[in-house]
């Protein structure tokens, strides 16, 4: 019991957000009469919020460094518009168009990162200017019109599913993938625990370790079973898993991740420790520009159109997801897992309230209260 108490106390923000997500899911499952967790709707939640999760991952890194990016929604809209011109108007190959758009996103991030990191203009001002610039350029590129439809190969990124070679009513390939992921997770946790014990690092008790593995493997297999009852695993979910696992590894296991946390925790101490703070801040904005571009491509593919209204309020959803997920505006605090949890909280709120027929006005008000509550919880927890 003492081990469990210490585990919860040391990770109170993380557990608090997970508990909040579970509570919100249960609440809307009841209020919607069981519609929320139907296989079709679970798939819709993933696909409808995929671009916000992508933005939340990048925004988490930005906030960890103590900065902010208000331009991501406009950059996503601009990249969506450019993709429409490249793939629909100019009829370029899909792969070439996607790579050019991602490169353009990186260039935009480098442009903004230069002003923030090397000219020392506050990121709030730089990205506010970027929000206006790229929203205007979106209108210029589209000339106030909508470009559609996109090629099928492009739309498959955000709207298609992995095929099932078994041809059964239940998507068996998804079930198999769930089992393989569970086995991979168990083997990874065992290897990590063996290494920690070898070097006498502090670890959780064996019963808690087993309980953790059991809960997570159950969640993985239940989740894949639900997906298997509809169309299986969407391609965009694979993209999200690669991003989540990749960025989690970078932030937890690499020098780059340590430097990002050090930069946000205390920039002066980081400089004295040999961290190239300007370079690190610059590359974090390049990363954000690239992820904003990917988000814009996913949104355009799902909508099957490049529109001037795309990306509206994306930046607020991304910031809210990061903050709800545990990021602190003072910098140095936050996890990729937390960003995903925060994005899912926002996504389930949006989806549940839409199913219930709640108007957009009340939806915005409720999301604002949730964001305020998350920040208040963080402040009160720090004061303790």
Q: State the Cα–Cα distance between residues 337 and 79, nearest whole angstrom.
A: 26
Task: Quote the tokens at residue 330.
Answer: 């003072």
pLDDT per residue over 119-156, tens digit each? Answer: 999 999 999 999 999 999 999 999 889 998 999 889 98
Residue 316 lies in a domain: yes
CB 288 within 8 A of CB 59: yes
Q: Tokens 């208040």 — which residue?
A: 376
151 and 169 share one domain: no
**Which has the minimum average pLDDT: 26-30, 133-137, 264-268, 372-376?**
372-376
Tell me if 245 is assigned to some domain: no
Same domain for 167 and 148: no
Q: Are residues 371 and 274 in the same domain?
A: yes
306 forms beta bridges with 147
CA distance 182 to 172: 15
Cβ atoms of residues 369 and 361 within 8 Å: no
Asked whether residue 326 is assigned to any structural domain, the reply reads yes
- pLDDT (0 to 100) of residue 61: 96
Centre a 10 Å sphere on the Cβ of residue 95 and count the other Cβ atoms it contains.
Answer: 10
Q: Are residues 141 and 191 in the same domain?
A: no
* Banded model confidence at residue 4, pLDDT cuts 50, 70, 90: low
| pLDDT at site 286 | 97
Of residues 382 and 369, more confidence is placed in 369
pLDDT in tens, 235-245: 999 999 999 99
Average pLDDT, the chain: 90
User: Residue 184's domain spans which residues?
Assistant: 163-233
For residue 107, the model assigns a pLDDT of: 97
CATH of the domain at 12: 1.10.3470
Q: Beta-carbon neighbour count of residue 40 at 10 Å?
A: 12
Note the pLDDT of residue 200: 83
* Residue 243 belongs to a domain: no
Cβ atoms 168, 308 nearer than 8 A:
no
Place of tokens 């960025």: 247
Query: Under 8 Å CB-to-CB from 350, ≥6 apart: which residues?
Result: 48, 49, 363, 367
Per DSSP, the chain holds a count of helices (H) and strands (E) of 16, 0
Query: Domain end: 233, 261, 285, which one?
Result: 233
Q: Is the pLDDT of residue 1 over 80?
A: no
Give me the pLDDT at residue 381, please: 67
Q: Over pLDDT 70: what percentage of the chain?
A: 95
User: For residue 165, is pLDDT > 90?
Assistant: no
Residue 244 lies in a domain: no
Number of domains in the chain: 2
Q: Please tell me which residue, 270 or 375, carries the higher pLDDT value.
A: 270
Q: Which residues contact 161 (CB under 8 A, 6 or more apart)?
A: 231, 232, 233, 234, 235
In this structure, the answer to whether residues 44 and 174 fall within a common structural domain is no
Same-domain status, 202 and 303: no
Mean pLDDT of 311-337: 88
Q: How much is the pLDDT for 378?
A: 67
- The reply to whether 47 and 144 lie within a common domain is yes
Same domain, 167 and 155: no
Domain-embedded: residue 358: yes
Q: In this model, does residue 221 exceed pLDDT 90?
A: yes
Quickly state the pLDDT bin for 8 (edges 50, 70, 90): low
Do 153 and 171 lie in one domain? The reply is no
Q: How confident is the model at residue 11 (pLDDT cuts 50, 70, 90)?
A: low
pLDDT tens track for 47-83? 999 999 999 999 999 999 999 999 999 999 999 999 9
Check pLDDT > 80 for residue 384. Answer: no
Domain final position from 205, 233, 261: 233
The larger pLDDT score, comparing residue 287 to residue 152, is at 287
Quickly state the pLDDT bin for 375 (edges 50, 70, 90): confident
Instruction: Give domain status of residue 309, yes or no.
Output: yes
CA–CA distances in Å: residue 264 to residues 62, 145, 284, 290? 9, 42, 12, 21
Higher pLDDT, 348 or 370: 348
Long-range own/partner contacts, residues 312-317 (CB < 8 A, 24 or more apart): 312/73, 312/77, 313/73, 314/51, 314/52, 314/55, 314/72, 314/73, 314/76, 315/55, 315/69, 315/70, 315/71, 315/72, 315/73, 315/74, 315/131, 316/73, 317/52, 317/55, 317/56, 317/343, 317/346
Same domain membership, residue 342 and residue 227: no
194-216 tens-digit pLDDT = 998 888 887 878 888 898 899 99
Q: Is 195 within the bounds of a domain?
A: yes
Weakest mean pLDDT among 301-315, 338-352, 355-369 = 355-369
Domain final residue, candidates 172, 205, 233: 233
- Cα–Cα distance, 354 to 330 (Å, whole number): 34
Do 9 and 86 have their domain in common? Answer: yes
Examine the pLDDT at 14 and tell me if it is beyond 70: no
Which residues have a Cβ under 8 Å from the Cβ of 374 and sit 6 or more positions away?
17, 323, 324, 342
Q: Do both 367 and 296 map to the same domain?
A: yes
User: Three-state DSSP class for 161?
Assistant: strand
pLDDT band (50, 70, 90) for residue 368: confident
pTM of the complete model: 0.92
């Amino acid at each position: 019991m003492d081990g469990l108490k210490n585990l919860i106390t040391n990770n109170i923000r993380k557990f608090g957000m997970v508990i909040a997500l579970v509570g919100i899911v249960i609440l809307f499952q009841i209020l919607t009469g069981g519609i929320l967790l139907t296989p079709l709707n679970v798939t819709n939640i993933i696909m409808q919020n995929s671009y916000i999760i992508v933005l939340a991952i990048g925004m988490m890194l930005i906030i960890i460094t103590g900065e902010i990016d208000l331009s991501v929604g406009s950059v996503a809209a601009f990249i969506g518009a450019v993709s429409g011109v490249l793939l629909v108007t100019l009829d370029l190959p899909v792969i070439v168009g996607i790579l050019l758009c991602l490169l353009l996103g990186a260039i935009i991030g480098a442009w903004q990162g230069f002003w923030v990191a090397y000219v020392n203009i506050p990121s709030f001002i730089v990205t506010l200017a970027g929000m206006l610039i790229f929203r205007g350029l979106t209108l210029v590129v589209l000339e106030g019109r909508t470009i559609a439809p996109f090629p099928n190969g492009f739309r498959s990124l955000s709207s298609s599913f992995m095929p099932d070679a078994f041809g059964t009513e239940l998507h068996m390939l998804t079930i198999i993938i769930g089992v393989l992921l569970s086995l991979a997770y168990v083997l990874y946790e065992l290897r990590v625990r063996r290494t920690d014990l070898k070097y006498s690092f502090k670890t959780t008790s064996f019963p808690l370790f087993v309980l953790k593995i059991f809960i997570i493997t159950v969640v993985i297999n239940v989740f894949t079973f639900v997906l298997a009852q509809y169309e299986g695993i969407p391609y965009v979910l694979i993209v999200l898993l690669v991003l989540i696992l990749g960025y989690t590894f970078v932030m937890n296991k690499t020098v780059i991740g340590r430097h990002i946390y050090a930069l946000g925790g205390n920039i002066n101490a980081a400089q004295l420790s040999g961290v190239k703070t300007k370079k690190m801040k610059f590359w974090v904005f390049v990363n954000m520009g690239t992820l904003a571009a990917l988000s814009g491509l996913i949104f355009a593919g799902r909508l099957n159109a490049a529109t001037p209204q795309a990306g509206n309020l994306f930046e607020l959803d991304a910031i809210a997801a990061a903050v709800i997920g545990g990021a602190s505006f003072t910098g140095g605090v936050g996890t990729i897992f937390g960003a995903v949890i925060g994005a899912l909280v926002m996504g389930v709120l949006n989806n549940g309230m839409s199913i219930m027929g709640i108007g957009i006005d009340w939806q915005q008000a409720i999301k604002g209260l949730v964001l305020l509550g998350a920040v208040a919880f963080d402040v009160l927890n720090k004061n303790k």
